[in-house]
Amino acid sequence: MVLKVENLSVTYGQKTAVDRISFQVKPGHVFGLLGANGAGKSSTIAAVLGIEKSTHDELGIVGKSPVRNRKEVFQQVGVQFQETNFQDKLTVSEACRQWQALYRKSADLPALLQTFGLAGKEKQLVKLLSGGERQRLAVLLALIPEPKLVFLDELTTGLDTKARRMLWKQLLTMKENGLAIVLTSHYMDEVEALCDEILILREGQTVFHGTIQEALIASEKTTLEDAYLLFAGEGEHWE
C-alpha cells in the first residue's frame, strides 16, 4: 500500500468536517475523492498530507507518517493543490528548477514540459501564463520528484477538452508504470476515465466507497453522474 488511511477525522471547533473515513491506495491505482463543494475533500487531502490536524487510527504514506517523517515522505510524494500561487516574477523554468532542487530524484524536465504543452514557454513569467497553462504547470511540478504517489486536487478545472484529454493520457501512462494517484474532481467523465476506486463524501461522511461498477449497481442508475448525484445528495433540489 502506498497510502493507508484508517478512521481519519478532522474537526474545526465544534464542526466535524471529515468523519472517520478510511481508504487505501495501491501502487498503479487511481483513487477518486468525490463530493460537492464543502463536502470535505480538500480537508481530507490536507489531513492526509499532515498539514491539517486530524485524529486517526492509522495514517501512512509509503509506510510512514507524513507528520513525523515529513522529509522522507515528501521525497516520494507530489502534490498539486486546488489553487496554486507562485512567487511574483518567477519564470516557468525557474519554477521547475527550484522544484527539482528540493528533491533527490528528478524526472526528465524537457520531456515533462513537452508532454504538458509548456515547451517553448520556459522564459515566460508564471503569472502571465493562461489559467490552463498554470494548472498544467502545477501538475507538472507535482510529478517532478518521480513520485510513487501524487495528490491532484481538481486537476483539470480550467482546462479545455484537448488539454484534459492530454493530461489523462499522460496520467494513465504513468499509472501503468506504477504511479498511485489520489484525485478530486467534479467531472464524472474524468472519474470514469481515470479512477479504479471512488469514495463519495457528503458533509464529511462516507456515503459510497467502491468501484465505479459497484456505484452503478448500488444506485440502480445507468450513468456515473446520476449515481454520483444520488449519493452526494446534489440531485435532490432538481427532482
Q: Which residues bind other proteins (CB under 8 A)?
A: 49, 51, 70-72, 74-75, 77, 79, 81, 83-90, 94, 97-103
* Cell 522522507, residue located: 72
Nearer to other proteins, 49 or 183 (CB): 49
Smallest distance, other proteins to C-beta of residue 46, A: 9
Smallest distance, other proteins to C-beta of residue 235, A: 33
SS (H, E, C) the chain: CCEEEEEEEEEECCEEEEEEEEEEECCCCEEEEEECCCCCHHHHHHHHCCCCCCECCEEEECCECCCCCHHHHCCCEEEECCCCCCCCCCEHHHHHHHHHHCCCCCCCHHHHHHHCCCCCCCCCEHHHCCHHHHHHHHHHHHHCCCCCEEEEECCCCCCCHHHHHHHHHHHHHHHHCCCEEEEECCCHHHHHHHCCEEEEEECCEEEEEECHHHHHHHHCCCCHHHHHHHHHCCCCCCC
Smallest distance, other proteins to C-beta of residue 95, A: 9
Smallest distance, other proteins to C-beta of residue 93, A: 10
Nearer to other proteins, 10 or 232 (CB): 10
Smallest distance, other proteins to C-beta of residue 121, A: 17
Nearer to other proteins, 103 or 187 (CB): 103
Nearer to other proteins, 43 or 206 (CB): 43
Nearer to other proteins, 95 or 212 (CB): 95
Torsion sign over Cα 108, 110, 113, 114: negative
Nearer to other proteins, 20 or 70 (CB): 70
CA-based Rg of the chain, rounded to a whole angstrom? Answer: 18
Smallest distance, other proteins to C-beta of residue 229, A: 31
C-alpha cell at 225: 453522474
